[in-house]
Amino acid sequence: MSTLRFHAIKKTLDRKPIVFEETERRSAIFGSNVFNEATMRQFLTKEAFNSVMSAVENGTKIDRSVADHISTGMKEWSISKGATHYSHWFQPLTGSTAEKHDAFFETIGNGLAIEKFGGSQLVQQEPDASSFPNGGIRNTFEARGYTAWDPTSPAFIYGTTLCIPTVFVSYTGEALDYKTPLLRALFAMDTAAVAVCKYFDKNVKKVNTSLGWEQEYFLIDRALAASRPDIVQTGRTLLGHSAAKGQQLDDHYFGSIPARALSYMMDLEVECMLLGIPVKTRHNEVAPNQFELAPIFDEANLAVDHNSLLMDVMHKVSERHNFKVLFHEKPFAGVNGSGKHNNWSLTTDTGINLLGPGKTPMSNLQFLTFFINTIKAVNDHEELLRAAIASASNDHRLGANEAPPAIMSVFIGEQLTNVLNELENVTNGKLSPEEKTDLKLNVVGKIPDVLLDNTDRNRTSSFAFTGNKFEFRAVGSTANCANPMTVLNTIVAKQLTDFKVEVDKLINDKEMKKDDAIFNVLRDYIKKSKNILFEGNGYGEEWEKEAKKRGLSNHRTTPEALKAKVSKKAIALFEEMGVMNKVESEARYEIEMEEYVLRIQIEGRVLGDIARNHIVPVAVQYQNRLIKNVKGLKEIYGKDFKKFAQEQLNLIEDISGHISSINSDVTRMTDERRTANLVEDFEKKAHDYCFKVKPLFDSIRYHCDKLELLVDDELWPMTKYRELLFTS
Ligand code: ADP
Ligand code: MG
């Protein structure tokens, strides 16, 4: 009997929810472990406070002498909250977060010690971080990387450590993390958007990017997860026959949250409150044991940090509740995978959401300007946007079970489609006063009424307009949002910059009025962006054919998709917008390709091990039982035995067939892996892993899953889908 599997099931069945009681109002504890504005006022001198605020609001540099005051204030606050250590907290290109804790404690001779934290330790650190991926930027003789304080994301206390959000750059200034290019892209967006806003309101001085992510995840009992070597090592099941009942009855979606999961969520949410993560929504998702958590949106850099922090906190809190959180985009075949929708918008310092229709024709023209420029940006850079969400794990999700496909398209809803159709027909050149009045009254002026009903129910569009924001839905649940946010903000910033140039040209060279010029350029953009607009069901062959006709890319695999990151166009774009230089773009491409190889390599090894060392031996064991049974029948019935043993004989043969297929496929996969490992060129290596190694996973899995249906349940070593997904 398979002891681990049954032991895990028993353990799960015996569990009781860990009682969690909320003792304080959330509003009262919100942000209490964050060095936020209120705390800064309390712990900083006026000069230090003003200096931080000005750095946050205007990007000004913080003077070194002031840094000493700030660090002292931070230290006092941290110690008053029980912290003993500080850490520069950063997001290297591994995708997770990194921290190295140092104690405040310092000796001062004569056996005495004090708590110390100076300005220089706050501002810059040199972690011994030479093992993080750097894509060749830091070669061995200059392996130093620095972390530098990012004052736009406030420090926070987690456990007993003061965490200081930082960027991570090489000695020569190249970005080694996700945050640095994001900050540069947000700056580019601010600059480009403010310039365009000035057409409509001269008072706008800053445009902030907002991000509201929605995190999907699975919760699996810790014992059950531990019983599956594939979940332990790869975060997903590499095999397993689907359960008779999956999600077809839709009885989990938005249903009442199971007691154990709810306790976990409450505990998690309180941790989030302390850390200033404004979590708001929780609900069951479509697949069994799948859930979603969403916060109130925030400034993008902060929201990205919050999401990275959240994923870490989710793991930590799950241990207290005997769960394992699965962030993988497709932990179980045949049921929905997990995404991380990125809701994105732009807001001015005058309080206007630039993607929210306004109350007057002029504010609506501003809305349409940003709306249409965004569509044009996605149209022109769809391939780069696809590359921004590419990963080995997201490959499994895109295009399957209601997830958006690998094709980028923009959904805008019927009403806005009509508005664009009207705008497309405006006169080329100067508009007559009558036409302008008509436009303002009947087209631009009518947007607020019609928008309310704007939804994309089937959710298969990768980029959808949802009332006052765009929702980038193709982002995977494991992703660091900084990557897609960097690309999205860069392409829109570039587009807005070009727009400004074109409009100014019409105003200056053609002596057009400002709104005539804007209408003219927008009309032109609508004509040019038709390919990306798609209102239909983004699922299946029909759309794939249509997308191909339109010339849209459809890269189903990561190695194919990532290439767009280093196209001439992409490198020039990132350079022009000051987001990444060529070295940085190329390094990221290489790192992501290598990561892809490593992931598939690990999966291949784990699958080979499970198939050969767990599945095949059990199949043989069961086959021996059958053989014994057949022999017994023969003893009793002599030459008539076949009448009674036919089923067993068939089974014996079927099992042999599957065993021999598994063995030959595993051998082939191992050989392909060995050959691929010898390939020096990283592009070819990723290609070989993708097209030679990985396809064998499917056939190995097929035969293992067939055996699962044949072999005695008592012997089966791998915890089954119905147990993983339905035991609680
Ligand atoms: P759903 O997409 O599930 O229907 P909502 O549309 O209500 O849910 O919101 C989803 C997410 O969008 C939330 O995290 C919310 O904070 C975020 N969001 C709402 N408005 C904006 C905005 N202007 N900018 C960015 N995110 C936003
Ligand atoms: Mg959503």
Distances in Å between the Cα of 507 and the Cα atoms of 213, 368, 423, 514 are: 39, 19, 19, 6
What residues flank ion ligand 2 with Cβ within 5 A? 341
Does 208 contact ligand 1 (Cβ within 6 A)?
A: no
pLDDT (0 to 100) of residue 141: 46
Rounded to the nearest angstrom, the distance between the alpha carbon of 455 and the centre of ligand 2 is 10
Rounded to the nearest angstrom, the distance between the alpha carbon of 341 and the centre of ligand 2 is 6
Mean pLDDT, range 253-276, rounded to an integer: 93
Does 215 contact ligand 1 (Cβ within 6 A)?
A: no
Closest CA to 404 of 336, 493, 450, 349: 336
| CB neighbours of residue 371 within 10 Å | 23
Atom of ligand 1 nearest to the CA of 347: 23
Does 214 contact ligand 1 (Cβ within 6 A)?
A: yes
DSSP string of 427-490?
Answer: PSSSPPHHHHHHIIIIIGGGHHHHHTT---TT---SEEE-SSSEEE---BTT--THHHHHHHHH
Does 473 contact ligand 1 (Cβ within 6 A)?
A: no
Bridge partners, residue 100, by sequence: 88
Mean pLDDT, range 261-280, rounded to an integer: 97
Cα torsion for 659, 661, 667, 671, to the nearest 10°? -170
Kindly tell me if the per-residue pLDDT of 458 is higher than 70: no
Atom of ligand 1 nearest to the CA of 294: 14
Residue 115 main-chain phi, psi, to 5 deg: -95, 125
CA 694, CA 691: separation in Å to the nearest integer? Answer: 6
Closest CA to 624 of 660, 648, 657, 644: 648
Residue bearing the bigger pLDDT, 144 or 580: 580
Kindly tell me if the per-residue pLDDT of 10 is higher than 60: yes
Mean pLDDT, range 539-551, rounded to an integer: 91
CA 36, CA 311: separation in Å to the nearest integer? Answer: 21
Closest CA to 358 of 447, 249, 478, 243: 447
Does 465 contact ligand 1 (Cβ within 6 A)?
A: no
Kindly tell me if the per-residue pLDDT of 154 is higher than 70: yes
pLDDT tier for residue 451 given thresholds of 50, 70 and 90:
low
- Please count the residues of the chain: 728
The string of pLDDT tens digits covering residues 71-85 is: 999 999 999 999 999
Q: What is the pLDDT of the chain when averaged over all its residues?
A: 93
pLDDT tier for residue 137 given thresholds of 50, 70 and 90:
confident
- Beta strands 98-103 and 323-326 are unpaired
Residue pair 477/339 in contact (Cβ under 8 Å)? The answer is yes
Q: Is 512 helix (H, G, I), strand (E, B) or coil?
A: coil
Rounded to the nearest angstrom, the distance between the alpha carbon of 298 and the centre of ligand 1 is 10
Does 688 contact ligand 1 (Cβ within 6 A)?
A: no
Residue pair 355/370 in contact (Cβ under 8 Å)? The answer is yes
Does 436 contact ligand 1 (Cβ within 6 A)?
A: no
Residue to substitute in 343, 456, 473 for testing ligand 1 pocket (most ligand atoms within 8 angstroms of CB): 343
Q: Which residue has the tokens 């689907």?
A: 242
The string of pLDDT tens digits covering residues 586-596 is: 999 999 999 99
Q: Whose CA is nearest to atom 3 of ligand 1?
A: 214
- Beta strands 410-411 and 463-465 are parallel
Give Cβ neighbours of residue 70 (< 8 Å, ≥ 6 apart). Answer: 44, 48, 51, 52, 62, 119, 122
The string of pLDDT tens digits covering residues 208-235 is: 999 999 999 999 999 999 999 999 999 9
Q: Which of the residue ranges 137-141, 228-232, 285-289, 479-483 would you say has the lowest mean pLDDT?
A: 137-141
Ligand nearest to the CA of 281: 1
Kindly tell me if the per-residue pLDDT of 728 is higher than 80: no
